Structure 1
């Protein structure tokens, strides 16, 4: 198109060192400089005469490209970041400035765009930080990743750019992460950090703290910057503390509170096929009186171990306190099956426990209650307790 060549001096285009592409008002390429060939992979001979949308605009960006072209046709310039496609099919984020050109009569005759690799523009800034930083657009598409991302997650920048960040967030955390991202994008106010599990390149999950900054109005960024920090140690500590809080420190079995939570959850699910066993060691006080509390503790630990061995892996064994224990077993609905379960546990408990030179033979009274409809956890516990006392 001669008019465009008259409006743009070729020597200026090359001296700029940036990719310069011109199209007519239908989006057909009329000018493609050497830097554009280096950036996109298409030669001028291949590009001129073809629609720009076929060469550089990936499918997810077609709607935005149409909106930009409408703005340009209306005489409004556009500048920002835009995900583009190379000849080999790979994508990257470009910093683009588009403007419409008019002829001597004031008629729009062409659109000229200058584009740079966005990562190369901002890399001098992000490469200096030791923090793992990514930039996403409003929808969560990754446009930039700092070198520290490799150290944190194992992903290289080229693996992330153009991908949806939500594909890397754990499914259980994805809705909350999206909501936090949207909240940041909707305000200039600083929002509190959000935590989520993020998928690493080895398919493991890492807990990260994500601090988001709204830079959508910044022309050179036009995105949300996320700074990620590894908080897996903190979560491991919290999980350990939670596990300890749910366990009896002497035997390692779940404690009364955790057991009641499990029973309540089971009944809330209306899973009424199951049985609860209530065990009380007979005359345990005499063991402490005769052999001492160290021996008594050894017996309690042995009882706990035998309960776990006698029960199924999915059953919950608990020390309720003192010399009282409980077992919650699902999928047992008949009294005869519950009786068989009780006999198996009784036989296991009756084996002697050797403490020093003493052989102590524990004895236990065991009662059970089948889970039933319209029963609360407290009611089931009471029924099992009453059944146990009838055995004494």
Structure 2
């Protein structure tokens, strides 16, 4: 496609915007070129580089064949080799690499001509390589190649003719002849280039125009298809002779036939025997009622809207039908009767739901109240019990795994409670994680407590939910009715709730029976909790340190930090007097953080005083391992005081370590470098396999096992087993509660590594421990 000189043509640049290109004489003789896509340019350039590499490798070989020595061959090879390297260099721009490649091709041809002695045949290498410069579709490489040939033939051919032409020919005619050949070939390349560019522009314009049309059609069809696919009505199209051509999801739902099984089949497949014309396009269009048939053969009444589909020339190409099921409207009387029966059933279900918990199926508060009022009607001759049960730590299940897991736990608890009581007893869910058991006509307090303890044992069995295992405990408050008792349901539940509160305050997983003095007990407990909250913030807590002694050297290698409460009104309170209340109310978290921070600060103080490095053991609440924030608290305290976490040790009760919730917390703590010891080992139920899985450092023999050592070798069998177990697991064993020299001697004989107890040093203030360590004398003789 050509245009007159001086005209312009509209092109598309790389970004798709039109650009105008001049069409003057120069432009007609030399194309402007185009910007190739990176992938296409790289492919063309790689071909040129491979060709250039072959030529560069051929130059020294040809030089040696022509009788040149190695130095001369290397000198002839150097120029094209350097240009080839420049053309290959990744850090150089595209234009520079293309120019270098074009010059490299021409330089290789020039070196070949010179090595041949100006042989005419060698000049054809220029003609063979010149078109490769046009592969870049850019002016610069092609102009450079042509200019190189001109300079080589005219300038060098005039100055050093024997380097370009044979010795026995006149250089000027040969230069003119070669120039004619070069110009002719250049003209041929340019014509091909021009024709290719014009054709490409024309094709690109056509492609862009057609692409825009197709995109508009695609968008329109996509919108129509989305409507057809999303509608609940059946949309079906068919050829004039009745062959089904499309079948939307609404048709699949309405008729029951998947599209793959009906496409191409006749529309009579879904009819009920009505006669259809041979050409469906002759049928009357509009909306009509038709009897249709589902895949299973069931007939139904349908409202069919029929229309004829026509092509661009107006010729009928098929029919389209929109089908809606109106069976419900046609059978309204039957539906009304069915609805009445359904409402009757729902009324019965609502009546049941009004008296039962929808999640667990247990009795609800209303049904419990009705049955309790019945039971209390003849209470002068019968005795009844109300057990109020509240789950311990149930909130953690919802917080960690969501309400689905919580519902699964509540349902499992409900089934266990039902299976743990008598068939005549009533189990109800009051709401949340609170349950009530009504036991009518009980013999006495002992029988009720036995049932309550059975309930708690049933709760302690893990609840499976997917890959998770949840262990929830509970606390039970019990109230009993007596002859002449005039308390109503609310009074009984309030007293049972009070007993349950006392059970939780005592450490959870307990049963307490309501007694009249319990109100004063609860009041005292509330006062204790208030005082304890003030104690944490008011600086009333104290730490004492009990030395831990290496039984091989007798030296103090560490201490165990023991918290005490120095109350202004209560005096010195031992841990057993306030830690259960702290556990029940959550205050223990603040106490743990204070103990950890104070213990780290004391280690830092002892280091500053020049004492040898000691290990600091602290007891932590079992709940801290489950909540997952113990490692963060330890890390923060160690960072704030500059203490190496490897000098810290947490002591975990054996029963807690055996539980599934503690493993993750223990691993997080151990990852900090903090040591982990199993406290009171020998009193729990941990398995050897469980111990092998945990990253432990020490086992601490329970004081009750150490006390048996004084009774002889037989009594020390448990301590001996713990020491042997520690050796097999490569764990250090520490004995607690050493109070007699005989116990100490027995522990040494068993190979126990360390010990603590009143014989070796009672819990003491930090200053006393510092004096003890600073003296340098062992507390006991070295073994």
Q: Which gives a bigger RCO, structure 1 or 2 (Cα 8 Å, sep 6+)?
A: 1
Instruction: Indicate whether the TM-score tops 0.5.
Output: no
Q: Which has the higher strand share?
A: 1
Larger radius of gyration: 2
Q: TM-score range by the shorter chain?
A: 0.3 to 0.5
What TM-score do you get using the length of structure 1 for normalisation? Answer: 0.39
Q: Which has the higher helix share?
A: 2
What TM-score do you get using the length of structure 2 for normalisation? Answer: 0.20
